[in-house]
Amino acid sequence: MLTISQRGQQMPASPIRKLVPYAEAAKKRGTKVYHLNIGQPDIETPKMVLDAVRNSDFKVLEYSHSAGNESYRRKLVGYYKSVGINVNHHQIIITTGGSEAILFAFMACMDAGDEVIIPEPFYANYNGFAVAAGVNVVPITSHIENGFALPSIEEFEKKVTSKTKAIVICNPNNPTGYLYTAEEMEALKQLITKHNLYLFSDEAYREFCYEGKQISAMHLTDVDDNVVMMDTISKRYSACGGRIGALVTKNQALLDAVMKFAQARLSPPSFAQIAGEAAIDLPANYFDTTKAEYQSRRDLIVKRLNAIEGVFCPNPGGAFYAIAKLPIDDSDKFCQWLLESFDYKGATVMLAPATGFYGTAGLGKQEVRLAYVLKLDDINAAMDCLEAALKVYPNKI
């Protein structure tokens, strides 16, 4: 009998998508499902972005340069300059989604058995990328009681070993929505300098900051060789299906190594590069309306959650996610129960159990992640469902 590789067996299931069969079954029964489980924006992709693809005119759909179209990379230089990041187009490699940028960084910077420290809860696919690259995730726990602030540098120091090669942050954070402060970023700078580590900074949600300002890892001074930024158009322009991201660093040796991986996969998607290039020409105020809409959704969902007996949800400073602590025994069981056994006025809500966002076994059992990517009326209806569900859930604490 054919066998599955150990790496294949170790690849974790997505906590965001693993309950999809139960949601599909609920819909077949006629139950409306409010999807708060996945960060798929409902904001329309800008028309001028889609029109750029529709109106593209070429006779052969060719490979692009392995680093991505030069015209796109040059325009990204202007975009990054507008947010205080000074790079040239040679320091940008276009990737197939932000996911590939993360995977390339892992593979180019670490050998099998090396370790990467990541504050938990963290984006669940970091685990998958680590498995694919053969490296080990070392979680360091942040806590809901203080809004998931960065753990102390003293706690980081306890995790550093001879195998530690990098630290990963997501800023603003998925899944917590936490926005790292300038002081926290400076502390990380001192840490990576002391131990000569890479700082991988996932900045997919840069535009979605509601209190305070996003401090990019690329804003840090005197650590050019240590910093690697991963980026994507997915959330910024509501273009998740485009699968276009970027790896950005000033470390030339690292760029040379990453380019070998980029060449091995030939080129990033051509049509989506056209879309990404067009998106940079959107009006400067494009994000104002989008951010205001998400902020109103955040304010509503946090207010509704904290009004439910036994529920606590810190106020996220960015992205479009929140983690809430519920009076339940097991978030995996609860989220499945919502889809299998519950409905309120013909509807239910789909959440992501937080257990899948922790690297430490046993954590997150009372927590769920919610993506506030629905309109206000739907968020209200979803919260009505959740409030009703918690009143009748058989294993409530």
* 254-267 pLDDT, tens digit each: 999 999 999 999 99
Model confidence at 20, in pLDDT bands (50, 70, 90)?
very high
- Is the pLDDT confidence value at 44 over 80? yes
Residues in the chain: 397
pLDDT at 198: 98
| CB 80 within 8 Å of CB 87 | yes
| CB 34 within 8 Å of CB 378 | yes
Q: What mean pLDDT is reported for the chain?
A: 96
- Is the pLDDT confidence value at 22 over 90? yes
Q: In the block, which residue shows the tokens 């790496």?
A: 7
Exposure string over 36-66, b if 16+ CB within 10 A, otherwise e = bbebebeeebbeebeebeeeeeeeeeeebbb
Rounded Cα distance, 152 and 142, in Å: 9
Model confidence at 2, in pLDDT bands (50, 70, 90)?
confident
pLDDT at 396: 80
pLDDT at 13: 77
- How many CB atoms sit inside 10 A of residue 395's CB? 11
- Is the pLDDT confidence value at 11 over 90? no
Choice between 3 and 242, residue whose per-residue pLDDT is larger: 242
Average of per-residue pLDDT across 275-288: 95
pLDDT at 211: 86
Tens digit of each residue's pLDDT (9 = 90 or more) over 117-167 = 999 999 999 999 999 999 999 999 999 999 999 999 999 999 999 999 999
Tens digit of each residue's pLDDT (9 = 90 or more) over 302-312 = 999 999 999 99
Rounded Cα distance, 397 and 85, in Å: 48
**Domains within the chain, CATH numbers bracketed:** 6-44+287-392 (3.90.1150.10), 47-279 (3.40.640.10)
pLDDT at 340: 96
| Entry pTM | 0.95
Average of per-residue pLDDT across 352-377: 96
- Is the pLDDT confidence value at 16 over 80? no
The single-letter code of the amino acid at 89 is H
Give Rg (Cα) of the chain: 21
Average of per-residue pLDDT across 51-60: 95
- Is the pLDDT confidence value at 362 over 80? yes
- Is the pLDDT confidence value at 88 over 80? yes
pLDDT at 9: 87
pLDDT at 332: 95
| CB 291 within 8 Å of CB 205 | no
- Is the pLDDT confidence value at 352 over 90? yes
| CB 221 within 8 Å of CB 185 | no
Tens digit of each residue's pLDDT (9 = 90 or more) over 217-251 = 999 999 999 999 999 999 999 999 999 999 999 99
Model confidence at 290, in pLDDT bands (50, 70, 90)?
very high
Tens digit of each residue's pLDDT (9 = 90 or more) over 70-84 = 999 999 999 999 999
pLDDT at 331: 97
Average of per-residue pLDDT across 319-348: 97
- Ordered DSSP codes for 321-357: EEEEE-SBS-HHHHHHHHHHT--BTTEEEE-EEGGGG
